[in-house]
């Protein structure tokens, strides 16, 4: 069998990659270990969150599926950081783990050009450093022009609980035994990473009566710019909040030597994420904290598991029981699934181009946790870009590369391919320099044209955007004509005052504008000064981004470069001066030297 | 890759020893070829070796040769220093031999340029060295040493750390909005910290502006009606210090005609012609021109006549200069004292030199020169740094204004970040186009 594009792995990255590829007209095969686990959420039952919610909006703006799929399966949704500025607001939802998978499978099955195969990929067929196809564990050979690896945490995965190490994938799934070794043989440098998940508690065994309740927002919200609400905002499922206490901390400290992470059972352990520490990490590292927050999040309406957010651990089962029982409201809780840590292989993302094509094998792309990231949204964001770029590559077109001032997805990929990572990489708002430009509310304005131009975003969605743009300019003009004689100004100026809200003047407009249009105009005026500053700073970066570094540059010929800088530049081979400035170990003086060299290079 | 450069690093013809410094890939090889003594290839790094410089079988001098191998050297390249007996003829001969053996004569500041390019020193330090090389007075030399010692970098680094601490706390609040475990940055904390940083930087700016004036020379104009003794005053100031009036090349405006060094401080005299010819300033050059001179000047020496009452012209000049840094000098104190003007005036006699010292002290006092000479002050001395400093202060002001306007915390943070960036630009922590411009202009890299 021959396909245009084969996607290996059907998690959040794989689904977006396969959908982008098929929707852009390529004959696509999606290979998964277990068809019932497509678009699974093996960890928290949540889509979105700080920065991540904006990524979901970006995926949607480009023509991806995650936002729409989350909208269809919402249990609860809220806007984070409402009290702060518009730049840092971001949607966070609880999604139903059962319907999320179902809806995604339905979408995949209804997509033209897309086939699904249940199998495990063992090896790649490569000729002259170019991908030719895949070989499954049962020996089937499938041919393709491009391949996208989105294997998640399955490569040689080990589950760690106490002193037990079991070779299997998330919640007992089969792992991929051979693919990562074969990747190493092809020349990929592998990383060993680790992450963890907390225990799941039976809903009926929890006493919620004394726990504080966390509700969704009291208004209709959606991730997708389709603006279709599938849920009833008056009927959302609540989360609850509890805390660790002195007793919990004592149990942890007393049993620390039994934890997979602290017990010293293994000579080498994969590197875990700093920002998502296990509960034993938190207790050990922040000794002075009397308590830590834990959220109780519903996983689904179709089964009873409650996810104990903030309580991930690698303690043995009996200690986990004691730990859970020490928590308020969980004194008699029944653990349905125990917490565990998982270790897996990933590839060093410095071996990737910004298009997510590997530098090692032509037409081979990778996306998601295999690239060292963590999080559903980060995976999906890479997946859609890998899918788009695999198609563009086969069509002999320039890749779609989002810059750091275009999108969080741009920040994510640039960080990966420029700085690499040694721990599972999570997107944070603080990673984005120009986040005032990368807002949740303007993701469509930033990206929909790009999604449409590459042939992924459907025309009706693009028309919708054009219409929004038109209305924004109309309203911009109109507010100049609405005057406040007493204040000696028009609404356009009046809006700059913090207390003035555009919605209060909607009756004076010639027509009814949507709340999105009103919001854009209000933000543009209220934050005009700040936006101008952010744009000015971004332009510096864009200017340096236009200074290309030739592909064939020989760094050994650039005099005076520091040794470390020379090695790093040689390894990463940045495309532009801008990218080079972000490589750690490359100092400003190295950049200056490189610029001098390039001036000569171009002049000669 | 790096050619080998050579220069005499002590002043020629002074002192008992002269040092010739060689740096570059072939430094050891070249000196080894003209040195009779231990094999310089084999000696340990950072050793001093006794021997002779020999050229075509002729012993040129008895020398000590320091061998310093890369990378722990000033330029991070192999460096050799030849300590020779100080005679000009010997030093010149050794230089000649080195040039014939494959060295190139270093351009001014080229050792420093290499130290910077090889990552040994940062931009402010490099600028400090360049200033040191170009310093004319004791004062500017001290300033340059101050920069070179890294004090300036240290100060900026400390301030940036303060800002980063604030920013990262704000960031955590944004990224983990639902967690109460983390201390929430309050507007009050931002307000207090920004205010402190603002004040610190504003003080440094004030000091820097004085420092810059002192470094570049104080634009000075001597004013007074005809025959009041302007040129005698100038001569008295000159004679005292045996300084010379020279043309200053390349100064920004033509009005600076010469400079003198008074008590270690450089004065750039504006319109000396007006002084020398003892002509009536106002009438000769016109009121407009004299006003623009006053405007331009950083220091005004206004000379009055002790033997006469204040004239209209005197009053005009006193009035027009009242907001400037000025010294009112009552000349001809040896004659009659008929002048009733008595506000903050220094009485002198240019003829007998009486009171001249007081004038000099007053000049230093006005520009804090003694503080610069004696104390370890931290400040910036070049335009690039001062401009960036001003931008950083402006951003902190914006952040402060944001606090007062009740702006959202993440908006205020934008200004904090800008302040952090500009401070980084000062010490060359960021790559900017200004940085490369600076490199080109100061180090002639383009050639």
For the stretch A354-403, pLDDT in tens is: 999 999 999 999 999 999 999 999 999 999 999 999 999 999 999 999 99
Given this model, what pLDDT does residue A326 score?
Answer: 97
Q: What is the percent of chain B with per-residue pLDDT over 90, rounded to a whole number?
A: 21
Given this structure, which CATH class describes domain B217-374? alpha beta
Sheet holding B5-8, edge to edge: B35-37, B47-55, B58-68, B79-85, B17-23, B5-8, B104-105
ipTM comes to 0.81
Domain ranges of chain A: 200-343, 459-531, 547-603
Residue B97: half-sphere exposure toward Cβ, Cα within 13 Å? 23
B408, B419, B435: which to substitute to probe chain A, counting the most A Cβ within 10 Å?
A: B408
Query: In this structure, what token pair is assigned to residue A85?
Result: 């500025």
Nearest C-alpha in B relative to A527: B411
Given this model, what pLDDT does residue B135 score?
Answer: 57
Mean pLDDT of A125-133: 96
Contact B8, B106 (CB under 8 A): no
**Any idea which residue has 């903050």 for tokens?**
B344
Furthest CA-CA distance within chain A: 81
Given this model, what pLDDT does residue B181 score?
Answer: 64
Closest CA to A414 of A428, A426, A425, A403: A403
Measured between beta carbons, the chain B residues lying within 8 angstroms of A588 are 123, 428-432, 435
Given this model, what pLDDT does residue B433 score?
Answer: 59
Q: How confident is the model at residue B360 (pLDDT cuts 50, 70, 90)?
A: confident
Q: State the CB neighbour count (10 A cutoff) for residue B203.
A: 12
Q: What is the percent of chain A with per-residue pLDDT over 70, rounded to a whole number?
A: 98
Given this model, what pLDDT does residue B248 score?
Answer: 37
Given this model, what pLDDT does residue B33 score?
Answer: 92
CB nearest A592 (choices: B177, B418, B435): B435
Given this model, what pLDDT does residue A519 score?
Answer: 94
For the stretch B196-244, pLDDT in tens is 999 999 988 888 888 778 777 888 888 887 778 777 787 777 654 433 3
CA separation for the pair A365, A4 (Å, rounded)? 13
A136 contacts: CB under 8 Å, gap ≥ 6: A31, A119, A120, A121, A122, A142
CB–CB contact A84 B118 (8 Å): no
Distance from CA of A533 to the nearest CA of B (A): 8
Q: How confident is the model at residue B276 (pLDDT cuts 50, 70, 90)?
A: very low
Query: In this structure, what token pair is assigned to residue A40?
Result: 């699974």
Query: In this structure, what token pair is assigned to residue A373?
Result: 């990231």
DSSP B349: B
Q: Which residues of A422-439 are buried (b: 16+ CB within 10 A; e: fewer)?
A: ebbbbbbbbbbbbbbbbb
A598 at the B interface (CB within 8 A)? no
CA separation for the pair A507, B107 (Å, rounded)? 73
- Where are the extended beta strands (E) located within A137-262? 141-149, 158-161, 164-166, 190-197, 200-202, 212-214, 239-243
Given this model, what pLDDT does residue B311 score?
Answer: 84
CA separation for the pair B132, B279 (Å, rounded)? 39
pLDDT-wise least confident of A176-190, B1-15, B38-52, B253-267 = B253-267
A590 at the B interface (CB within 8 A)? yes
Parallel/antiparallel/unpaired status of strands A164-166 and A293-298: unpaired
Torsion sign, CA atoms A115, A118, A119, A123:
positive
For the stretch B242-256, pLDDT in tens is 333 333 333 323 344
Torsion sign, CA atoms A302, A307, A313, A317:
negative
Given this model, what pLDDT does residue B114 score?
Answer: 78
For the stretch A252-299, pLDDT in tens is 999 999 988 787 777 667 777 776 788 998 898 888 888 999 999 999
Mean pLDDT of A502-513: 92
B278 contacts: CB under 8 Å, gap ≥ 6: B226, B227, B230, B231
CB nearest B118 (choices: A430, A560, A592): A560
Closest CA to B223 of B273, B268, B310, B281: B281
Given this model, what pLDDT does residue B241 score?
Answer: 41
Given this model, what pLDDT does residue B374 score?
Answer: 63
Query: Of chain A residues 568-587, which have a CB less than 8 A from chain B?
Result: 581, 587
Measured between beta carbons, the chain B residues lying within 8 angstroms of A596 are 436, 439, 445-446
Distance from CA of B409 to the nearest CA of A (A): 6
Query: Of chain A residues 182-241, which have a CB less than 8 A from chain B?
Result: 214
CB–CB contact B405 A589 (8 Å): no
CA separation for the pair A433, A35 (Å, rounded)? 40
Among the four given CATH numbers 2.60.40, 1.10.10, 1.10.1740, 1.20.120, the one describing domain A459-531: 1.10.10
Distances in Å between the alpha carbon of B175 and those of A50, A94, A277, A285, B160? Answer: 5, 18, 15, 20, 22
pLDDT-wise least confident of A4-18, A311-325, A358-372, B93-107 = B93-107
Bridge partner residues of A296 (DSSP): A240, A308
Distance from CA of B64 to the nearest CA of A (A): 30
Closest CA to A172 of A33, A7, A315: A33
Furthest CA-CA distance within chain B: 84
SS3 A327: coil
DSSP A398: -
Query: In this structure, what token pair is assigned to residue B90?
Result: 């010997």
Mean pLDDT of B290-310: 84
CB–CB contact B407 A595 (8 Å): no
pLDDT-wise least confident of A313-322, B143-152, B354-363 = B143-152
Measured between beta carbons, the chain A residues lying within 8 angstroms of B164 are none
B2 contacts: CB under 8 Å, gap ≥ 6: A559, A560, B24, B25, B77, B114
CB nearest A50 (choices: B118, B168, B174): B174
Q: How confident is the model at residue A461 (pLDDT cuts 50, 70, 90)?
A: very high
Closest CA to A159 of A148, A146, A172: A172
A130 contacts: CB under 8 Å, gap ≥ 6: A361, A362, A363
**Candidate ranges A337-351, A418-432, B324-338; pick with highest mean pLDDT:** A337-351
Q: Which DSSP string corresponds to A174-198?
A: PPB-SHHHHHHHHTPPEEEEEEEE-
**Helix extents (H) in B344-382:** 356-366, 369-374
Nearest C-alpha in B relative to A580: B431
Given this model, what pLDDT does residue A11 score?
Answer: 97
CB nearest A498 (choices: B177, B405, B436): B405
CB–CB contact B181 A293 (8 Å): yes
Please return the burial class of B157, using the count of CB atoms within 10 Å of its CB with bins 0-12, 13-18 and 19+.
middle
Mean pLDDT of A301-325: 95
CA separation for the pair A483, B18 (Å, rounded)? 80
CB–CB contact B405 A592 (8 Å): no
For the stretch B121-166, pLDDT in tens is 766 676 666 666 555 566 666 666 666 556 777 888 889 989 988 8
pLDDT-wise least confident of A87-91, A249-253, B421-425 = B421-425
Average model confidence (pLDDT) across chain A: 93
pLDDT-wise least confident of A5-9, A149-153, A585-589 = A585-589
For the stretch A326-343, pLDDT in tens is 999 999 999 999 999 999
Higher pLDDT, A172 or A519: A519
Q: How far apart are the first and last CA of chain B?
A: 17
Query: In this structure, what token pair is assigned to residue A502?
Result: 């555009």
Q: What is the CATH number of domain B5-117?
A: 3.30.1360.120
With residue B36 as reference, give the H or E element that holds it: strand B35-37
A522, A588, A600: which to substitute to probe chain B, counting the most B Cβ within 10 Å?
A: A588
A530, A557, A581, A603: which to substitute to probe chain B, counting the most B Cβ within 10 Å?
A: A530
Q: Which DSSP string corresponds to B230-298?
A: HHHHHHHHHHHHT---B--TT-SSTTEEEEEEETTEEEEEE-HHHHHTT--HHHHH-HHHHHHHHHH-S
CB–CB contact A295 B178 (8 Å): yes
Closest CA to A468 of A55, A63, A70, A61: A61
For the stretch B19-71, pLDDT in tens is 899 999 999 999 999 999 999 999 999 999 999 999 888 888 899 999 999 88
Comma-separated ranges of CATH 1.20.120.430 domains in chain B: 151-211+382-443
A592, A597, A602: which to substitute to probe chain B, counting the most B Cβ within 10 Å?
A: A592
Contact B218, B363 (CB under 8 A): yes
SS3 B224: coil
Closest CA to A21 of A47, A3, A9, A35: A3
Fold of B151-211+382-443: 1.20.120
CB–CB contact B405 A533 (8 Å): no
Measured between beta carbons, the chain A residues lying within 8 angstroms of B388 are none
Contact A340, A168 (CB under 8 A): no
Q: Which residues of B lie inside 8 Å of A (Cβ-Cβ)? A: 1-2, 114, 116-119, 123, 168, 171-172, 174-181, 405-411, 414-415, 417-418, 421, 428-433, 435-436, 439, 445-446
pLDDT-wise least confident of A343-347, A372-376, B6-10, B369-373 = B369-373
Measured between beta carbons, the chain B residues lying within 8 angstroms of A85 are 407-411
Nearest C-alpha in A relative to B438: A592
DSSP A368: G
Contact B86, B17 (CB under 8 A): yes
Nearest C-alpha in B relative to A538: B418
pLDDT-wise least confident of A199-203, A401-405, A452-456, B422-426 = B422-426
Q: How far is CA B322 from its chain centroid?
A: 29
CA dihedral A110, A116, A118, A119 (to 10 degrees): -160
Model confidence at B363: pLDDT above 50: yes
Contact B412, A87 (CB under 8 A): no
Given this model, what pLDDT does residue B252 score?
Answer: 29
Give CATH superfamily name and number for A547-603: GidA associated domain, C-terminal subdomain (1.10.150.570)
Given this model, what pLDDT does residue B149 score?
Answer: 59
Higher pLDDT, B308 or B1: B308
CB–CB contact B181 A588 (8 Å): no
Mean pLDDT of A585-596: 80
Mean pLDDT of A72-94: 93
CB nearest B119 (choices: A537, A589, A599): A589
SS3 A93: strand
Contact A240, A329 (CB under 8 A): yes
Mean pLDDT of B338-364: 83
Residue A591: half-sphere exposure toward Cβ, Cα within 13 Å? 27
Higher pLDDT, B342 or B404: B404
Torsion sign, CA atoms A310, A312, A317, A318:
negative
Query: In this structure, what token pair is assigned to residue A423?
Result: 């721990």
Closest CA to A457 of A67, A65, A62: A62
Given this model, what pLDDT does residue A595 score?
Answer: 80
Model confidence at B279: pLDDT above 50: no
Given this model, what pLDDT does residue A478 score?
Answer: 94
SS3 A21: helix
Comma-separated ranges of CATH 3.40.50.300 domains in chain B: 217-374
Nearest C-alpha in B relative to A81: B177
SS3 A220: coil
Q: Say what the pTM is.
A: 0.78
Fold of A200-343: Elongation Factor Tu (Ef-tu); domain 3 (2.40.30)
Closest CA to B245 of B224, B217, B210: B217
Q: State the CB neighbour count (10 A cutoff) for residue A512.
A: 9
* CA-based radius of gyration for chain B: 28
């Amino acid at each position: 069998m021959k396909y245009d594009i084969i996607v290996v792995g059907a998690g959040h990255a794989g689904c977006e990659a396969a959908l982008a590829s098929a929707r852009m007209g390529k004959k696509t095969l999606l290979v998964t270990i277990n068809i019932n686990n497509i678009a699974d959420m093996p960890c928290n039952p949540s889509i979105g969150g700080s920065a991540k919610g904006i990524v979901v909006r970006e995926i949607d703006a480009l023509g991806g599926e995650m936002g729409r799929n989350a909208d269809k399966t919402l249990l609860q949704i809220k806007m984070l950081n409402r009290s702060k500025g518009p730049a840092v607001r971001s949607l966070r939802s609880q999604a139903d783990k059962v319907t999320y998978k179902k809806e995604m499978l339905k979408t995949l099955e209804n997509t033209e050009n897309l086939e699904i195969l249940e199998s495990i990929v063992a090896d790649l067929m490569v000729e002259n450093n170019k991908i030719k196809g895949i070989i499954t564990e049962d020996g089937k050979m499938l041919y393709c022009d491009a391949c996208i690896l989105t294997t998640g945490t399955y490569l040689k995965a080990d589950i760690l609980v106490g002193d037990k190490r079991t070779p299997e994938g998330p919640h007992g799934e089969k792992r991929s035994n051979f693919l990562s070794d074969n990747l190493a043989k092809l020349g990929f440098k592998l990383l060993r990473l680790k992450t963890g998940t907390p225990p799941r508690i039976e809903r009926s065994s929890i006493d919620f009566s004394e726990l504080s309740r966390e509700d969704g927002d009291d208004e209709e919200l959606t991730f997708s710019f389709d603006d279709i609400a599938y849920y009833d905002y008056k009927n959302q499922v609540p989360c609850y909040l509890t805390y660790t206490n002195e007793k919990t901390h004592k149990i942890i400290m007393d049993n620390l030597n039994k934890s997979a992470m602290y017990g010293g059972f293994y000579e080498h352990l994969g590197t875990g994420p700093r920002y998502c520490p296990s509960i034993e990490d938190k207790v050990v590292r922040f000794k002075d904290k009397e308590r830590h927050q834990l959220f109780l999040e519903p996983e689904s309406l179709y089964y009873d598991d409650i996810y104990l957010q903030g309580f991930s651990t690698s303690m043995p089962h009996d200690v986990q029981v004691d730990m859970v029982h020490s928590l308020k409201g969980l004194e008699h809780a029944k653990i349905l699934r125990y917490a565990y840590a998982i270790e897996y292989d990933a590839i060093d993302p410095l071996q990737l181009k910004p298009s997510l094509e590997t530098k090692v094998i032509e037409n081979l792309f990778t996306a998601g946790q295999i690239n060292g990231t963590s999080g559903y949204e980060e995976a999906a964001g890479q997946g859609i870009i890998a899918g788009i770029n695999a198609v563009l590559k086969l069509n002999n077109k320039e890749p779609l590369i989002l810059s750091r001032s275009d999108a969080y997805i741009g920040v994510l990929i640039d960080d990966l391919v420029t700085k690499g990572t040694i721990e599972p990489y999570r997107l944070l708002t603080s990673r984005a320099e120009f986040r005032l430009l990368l807002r949740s509310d303007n993701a469509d304005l930033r990206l929909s044209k790009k999604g449409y131009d590459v042939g992924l975003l459907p025309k009706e969605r693009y028309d919708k955007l054009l219409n929004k743009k038109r209305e924004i300019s109309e309203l911009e003009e109109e507010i100049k004509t609405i005057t406040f004689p007493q204040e000696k100004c028009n609404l356009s100026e009046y809006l700059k005052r913090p207390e003035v809200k555009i919605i209060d003047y909607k009756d004076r407009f010639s027509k009814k504008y949507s709340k999105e249009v009103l919001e854009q105009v209000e933000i543009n005026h209220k934050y005009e000064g700040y936006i101008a500053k952010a744009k000015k700073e971004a332009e510096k970066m864009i200017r340096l981004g236009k200074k290309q570094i030739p592909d064939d540059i020989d760094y050994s010929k650039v005099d005076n470069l520091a040794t470390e800088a020379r090695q790093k530049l040689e390894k990463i081979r940045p495309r532009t001066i801008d990218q080079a400035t972000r490589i750690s170990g490359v100092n400003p003086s190295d950049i200056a030297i490189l610029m001098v060299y390039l001036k000569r290079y171009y002049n000669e | 890759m790096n050619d080998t450069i050579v220069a005499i690093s002590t002043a020629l013809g002074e002192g008992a020893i002269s040092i010739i410094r060689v740096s570059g890939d072939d430094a050891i090889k070249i000196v080894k070829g003209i040195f009779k003594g231990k094999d310089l290839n084999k000696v340990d790094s950072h050793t001093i070796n006794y021997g002779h410089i020999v050229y075509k079988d002729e012993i040129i001098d008895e020398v000590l040769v320091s061998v310093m191998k890369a990378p722990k050297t000033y330029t991070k390249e192999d460096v050799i220093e030849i300590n020779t007996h100080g005679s000009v003829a010997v030093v010149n001969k050794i230089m000649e031999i080195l040039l014939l053996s494959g060295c190139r004569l270093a351009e001014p500041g080229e050792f420093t340029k290499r130290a910077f390019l090889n990552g040994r020193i940062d931009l402010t330090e490099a600028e400090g060295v360049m200033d040191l090389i170009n310093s004319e007075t004791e004062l500017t030399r001290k300033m340059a040493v101050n920069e070179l010692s890294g004090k300036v970098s240290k100060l900026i680094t400390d301030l940036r750390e303060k800002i980063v601490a604030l920013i990262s706390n704000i960031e955590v609040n944004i990224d983990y909005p639902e967690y109460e475990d983390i201390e929430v940055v309050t507007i009050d904390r931002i307000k207090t910290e920004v205010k402190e940083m603002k004040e610190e930087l504003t003080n440094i700016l004030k000091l820097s502006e004085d420092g810059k004036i002192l470094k570049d020379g104080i634009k000075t104009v001597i004013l007074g009606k005809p025959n009041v003794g302007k040129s005698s005053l100038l001569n008295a100031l000159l004679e005292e210090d045996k300084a010379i009036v020279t043309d200053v090349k390349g100064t920004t405006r033509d009005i600076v005609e010469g400079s003198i060094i008074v008590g270690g401080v450089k004065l750039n005299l504006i319109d000396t012609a007006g002084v020398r010819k003892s002509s009536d300033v106002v009438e000769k050059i016109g009121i407009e021109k004299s006003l623009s001179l006053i405007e331009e000047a950083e220091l005004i020496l206004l000379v009055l006549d002790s033997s006469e009452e204040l004239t209209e012209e005197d009053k005009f000049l006193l009035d027009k200069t009242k907001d400037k840094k000025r010294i009112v000098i009552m000349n001809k104190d040896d004659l009659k004292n008929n002048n009733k003007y008595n506000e903050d005036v220094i009485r002198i006699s240019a003829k007998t030199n009486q009171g001249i010292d007081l004038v000099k002290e007053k000049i230093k006092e006005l520009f804090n020169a003694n503080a610069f000479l004696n104390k370890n002050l931290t400040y910036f001395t070049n335009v690039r740094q001062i401009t960036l400093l001003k931008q950083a202060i402006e951003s902190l002001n914006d952040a402060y204004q944001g606090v007062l306007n009740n702006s959202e915390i993440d908006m205020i943070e934008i200004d904090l970040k800008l302040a952090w960036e500009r401070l980084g630009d000062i010490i060359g922590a960021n790559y900017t186009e200004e940085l490369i411009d600076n490199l080109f202009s100061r180090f002639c890299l383009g050639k």
